[in-house]
């Protein structure tokens, strides 16, 4: 028994346990669940997912709006349409503090947790703020990375198993992958932070492109941000350190002892694990096909991004504004037209009945300005003959009413008046 090999295997086993417990098991078990919930196909969720999720959510953050009854109970969470986070260990976290999130109601600020395979925390609320400052929705980040994470975890687990069962230089080299896990996470996370900060659209407030803070405190608009590693990150660091130790010990062991041939027992065990890995991969694939994962990612990426949708919104608003203005203008014009028409009518009436001075001063007081009648009779529609006859009659017969007016009129005046009155119309 080589002490190096024994301790190396022991450390590898610890690393593998952390990996399985913290990431692989919850990630594989929960795979496809959120998609099924979103599609309204909760009945397709395998029954073991419920106790699994409930177990992993024990000391997790729950949104302030989550109803007490539903917390730690996936069935209720689905029933109440609560915001559901993925159960794997959160690797990174960031939170916002702002006056509108008072400490009493939001003791942790507004936290969001980043997992290998998804998000948890106040994602919805954070998206609202992101929208406000012109940032894309959080779901837009690392879609392929998150989708591939469970597959990658199966592969890393298989590397550990190979490492534990075989003392082989080649397998040793693959241990670099678990060693690099925390760094790989940070690299991918930093890339997406950069992406979010440099793919800003016009929000309610306009911001210059910027690099969101990866670690520590920062400020975005009026929000104070805190970014820090979460429990999953320390677990990854542990995986990394134990992988390094296992790798280093085995390297030393191999130097002192020549390669020992693997036995049939090793091969049989390995075969079982290989089958498990294959079955896991097949399960992941089957789930992804069932929930149309690729289609969902494509939808996510090709969602008309914020800028275009905002532009469309603005254009639409402009269009309605234009329409409203047009309608208003039309109405005003109609009104004006009516007014003008009325004015014209009045003017027309005035024009039509622009009577002579003689009529106005002598006859209008009794017969009206336009012959419409007042104290005297209506003079409209009378024939020239009739008028002349009457007037001559009034002049000679000294009619009581007309005596004073008509008596002094010359024959010419009477003729003119006759002509004028005969032309009075309705
Ligand atoms: C003081 C009021 C008064 C004045 C001023 C007056 N009229 Fe008359 N006019 C009457 C009355 C009342 C009648 C209806 C009774 C009548 O025929 O005598 C009438 C009747 C008439 C008639 C006959 C209408 C018909 O239907 O047969 C004519 C034409 C007429 N007036 C023309 C004139 C003219 C032209 C003047 C201006 C030079 C004038 N009158 C001034 C009160 C007046």
406 ligand 1 Cβ < 6 A? yes
- Nearest ligand 1 atom to the CA of 401 is 1
Mean residue pLDDT of the chain comes to 86
From CA 386, how far away is CA 395, in angstroms rounded?
A: 14
Q: Report yes or no: 191 and 287 within 8 Å, Cβ to Cβ.
A: no
For residue 305, pLDDT beyond 70: no
- Nearest ligand 1 atom to the CA of 359 is 37
Tell me the range of 26-40, 213-227, 346-360 where mean pLDDT is highest: 26-40
> Which positions ≥6 away from 224 have C-beta within 8 Å?
96, 97, 98, 109, 217, 218
What is residue 182's predicted lDDT score, i.e. its pLDDT?
96
377 ligand 1 Cβ < 6 A? yes
402 ligand 1 Cβ < 6 A? yes
What are the pLDDT digits (tens) for 266-282?
889 899 999 999 999 99
In the reported structure, the alpha carbon of residue 391 is separated from the centroid of ligand 1 by a whole-number distance in angstroms of 8
Pocket test for ligand 1, best of 359, 365, 367 (most atoms within 8 A of CB): 367
Pocket test for ligand 1, best of 401, 408, 418 (most atoms within 8 A of CB): 401
The three-point CA angle 122-124-130 to 5° equals 100
In the reported structure, the alpha carbon of residue 119 is separated from the centroid of ligand 1 by a whole-number distance in angstroms of 100
From CA 313, how far away is CA 315, in angstroms rounded?
A: 5
395 ligand 1 Cβ < 6 A? no
Burial letters 240-267, b for 16+ CB under 10 A, else e: bebbbbbbebbeebbeeeeeeeeeeeee
- Nearest ligand 1 atom to the CA of 399 is 18
400 ligand 1 Cβ < 6 A? no
Residue 60: how many other CB atoms lie within 10 Å: 17
Percentage of the chain exceeding pLDDT 70: 92
Burial grade of 2 (CB within 10 A; 0-12, 13-18, 19 or more): middle
For residue 55, pLDDT beyond 80: yes
What is residue 56's predicted lDDT score, i.e. its pLDDT?
94
What is residue 393's predicted lDDT score, i.e. its pLDDT?
83
What is residue 169's predicted lDDT score, i.e. its pLDDT?
85
In the reported structure, the alpha carbon of residue 390 is separated from the centroid of ligand 1 by a whole-number distance in angstroms of 9
> Which positions ≥6 away from 53 have C-beta within 8 Å?
26, 29, 30, 33, 74, 87
The pLDDT of 2-8, averaged and rounded, is: 89
Burial grade of 209 (CB within 10 A; 0-12, 13-18, 19 or more): exposed
293 ligand 1 Cβ < 6 A? no
Question: How many CA atoms does the CB half-sphere of 389 hold within 13 Å?
Answer: 5
The pLDDT of 198-202, averaged and rounded, is: 81
From CA 217, how far away is CA 226, in angstroms rounded?
A: 5
* pLDDT tier, 343 (very low <50, low <70, confident <90, very high otherwise): low
> Which positions ≥6 away from 347 have C-beta within 8 Å?
none
362 ligand 1 Cβ < 6 A? yes
Going by alpha carbons, the residue nearest to atom 2 of ligand 1 is: 366
Going by alpha carbons, the residue nearest to atom 33 of ligand 1 is: 363
What is residue 63's predicted lDDT score, i.e. its pLDDT?
81
Task: Report which of residues 204 and 306 the model is more confident about.
Answer: 204
> Which positions ≥6 away from 184 have C-beta within 8 Å?
none
Q: Report yes or no: 120 and 60 within 8 Å, Cβ to Cβ.
A: yes
In the reported structure, the alpha carbon of residue 376 is separated from the centroid of ligand 1 by a whole-number distance in angstroms of 6
What are the pLDDT digits (tens) for 104-163?
878 888 899 999 999 999 998 888 888 878 888 888 899 999 999 999 999 999 999 999
Task: Report which of residues 18 and 71 the model is more confident about.
Answer: 18
For residue 309, pLDDT beyond 70: no
């Amino acid at each position: 028994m080589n002490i190096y090999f024994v301790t190396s295997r022991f450390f590898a086993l610890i690393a593998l346990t952390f990996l399985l417990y913290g990431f692989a098991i919850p990630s594989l078990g929960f795979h496809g669940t959120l998609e099924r919930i979103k599609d309204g196909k909760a009945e397709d969720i395998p029954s073991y997912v419920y106790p699994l999720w409930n177990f992993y959510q024990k000391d997790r953050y729950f949104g302030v709006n989550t109803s007490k009854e539903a917390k730690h109970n996936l069935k209720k969470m689905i029933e109440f349409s609560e915001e559901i986070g993925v159960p794997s260990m959160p690797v990174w976290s960031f939170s916002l503090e702002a006056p509108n999130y008072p400490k009493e109601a939001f003791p942790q600020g507004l936290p969001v947790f980043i997992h290998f395979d998804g998000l948890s925390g106040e994602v919805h609320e954070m998206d609202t703020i992101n929208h406000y400052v012109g940032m894309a929705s959080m779901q837009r980040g690392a879609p392929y990375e998150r989708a591939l994470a469970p597959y990658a975890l199966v592969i890393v687990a298989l590397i550990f198993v190979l490492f534990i069962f075989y003392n082989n230089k080649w397998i040793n080299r693959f241990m670099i992958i678990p060693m690099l896990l925390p760094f790989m996470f940070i690299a991918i996370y930093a890339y997406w932070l950069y992406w979010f900060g440099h793919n800003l659209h016009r929000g309610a407030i306009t911001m210059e492109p910027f690099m969101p803070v990866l670690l520590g405190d920062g400020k975005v608009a009026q929000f104070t941000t805190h970014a820090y590693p979460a429990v999953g990150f320390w677990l990854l660091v542990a995986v990394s350190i134990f992988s390094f130790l296992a790798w280093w010990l085995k390297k030393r062991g191999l130097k002192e002892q020549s390669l020992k041939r693997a036995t049939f027992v090793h091969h049989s065990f390995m075969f079982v694990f290989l089958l498990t890995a294959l079955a896991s991969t097949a399960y992941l694939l089957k789930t992804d096909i069932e929930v149309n994962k690729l289609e969902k990612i494509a939808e996510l990426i090709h969602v008309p991004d914020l800028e275009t949708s905002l532009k469309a919104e603005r254009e639409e608003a402009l269009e309605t504004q234009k329409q409203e203005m047009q309608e208003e203008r039309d109405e005003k014009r109609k009104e004006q037209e009516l007014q003008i028409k009325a004015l014209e009518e009045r003017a027309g009436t005035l024009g039509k009945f622009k009577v002579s001075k003689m009529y106005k001063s002598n006859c209008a007081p009794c017969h009206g300005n336009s012959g419409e009648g007042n104290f005297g009779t209506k003079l409209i529609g009378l024939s020239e003959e009739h008028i002349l006859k009457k007037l001559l009659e009034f002049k000679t017969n000294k009619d009581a009413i007309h005596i004073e007016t008509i008596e002094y009129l010359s024959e010419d005046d009477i003729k003119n008046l006759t002509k004028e009155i005969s032309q009075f119309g309705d």
